[in-house]
A and B are shown apart, each in its own frame.
Chain A
Amino acid sequence: MKIYHKKNFYAGIVFLTLAILNLRTLLLVEFTIKDMILTLFLFCFAFSGVSRSLSKQCSNEDVLKENDERNKLINLKSKAKSYSIVEKMLLIIGWILTLFGAIKGESYYLFVGIGISLSLLWVIIIFIESCINIYYEKHE
């Protein structure tokens, strides 16, 4: 028995562990239909991950999918776009909370504190982005 795709194998083991823990909770603590369905899905993912990692053909398919240039481009674009959106959301939510706290007066420190924290986080993100930009400008 040879493991052709380690990432899939370990993912399958993690899902199996989660499934077993969930099953234990179901049997010993509280039985709910929702948790039972979740456990079934976890077992399916676990079985799928492990069986695919042990099959040479399936592993080759998975490696091909991971290394496909179009898939890589789509992943890159998705990550870049979602990062850009979260960046803007952080700034806007930070401003809104700070203004809300200042205007409302209630829980002033809470809202203003959260607002300033989010804005600071935005500043840190911009700083890190600039550093990474400089690095790639030099090395690419």
Chain B
Amino acid sequence: MNVTQQELADAVKVTSRTIISIEKGQYKPSLMLAYKLALYFDVSIEELCCLKQNLREEI
């Protein structure tokens, strides 16, 4: 999907700095922001945040 960080930031109403931090794993988005991102990419929040994979790694 060809989308820039700025375009994504504008779509979910945050700054591009926040998107960069999320991509780098420095910042965990709130539930609402994660939901907006999931809606934008048309995936579930679990798939977006790789929750199952992260849970397996934790265990």
Contact = CB atoms under 8 A, between A and B. Distances in A.
Interface residues of B, number: 10
Contacts of B15: 64-65, 68, 70-71
A30 to B, nearest CB: 43
Contacts of A68: 14-15, 17-18
A64 B15 CA distance: 7
A70 B13 contact: no
B18 to A, nearest CB: 4
Interface in B6-46: 13-15, 17-18, 21, 27, 29-30, 33
A69 interface: yes
Contacts of B17: 68, 70
For chain A, which range describes its interface: under 10, 10 to 19, 20 to 34, or 35 or more residues?
under 10
A69 B21 CA distance: 12
Contact of B29 (A64, A69, A71): A69
Contacts of A67: 13
Interface of B: 13-15, 17-18, 21, 27, 29-30, 33
Interface of A: 64-65, 67-71
12 contacts: A64-B14, A68-B18, A69-B29, A69-B33, A70-B14, A70-B15, A70-B17, A70-B18, A70-B21, A70-B27, A71-B15, A71-B18
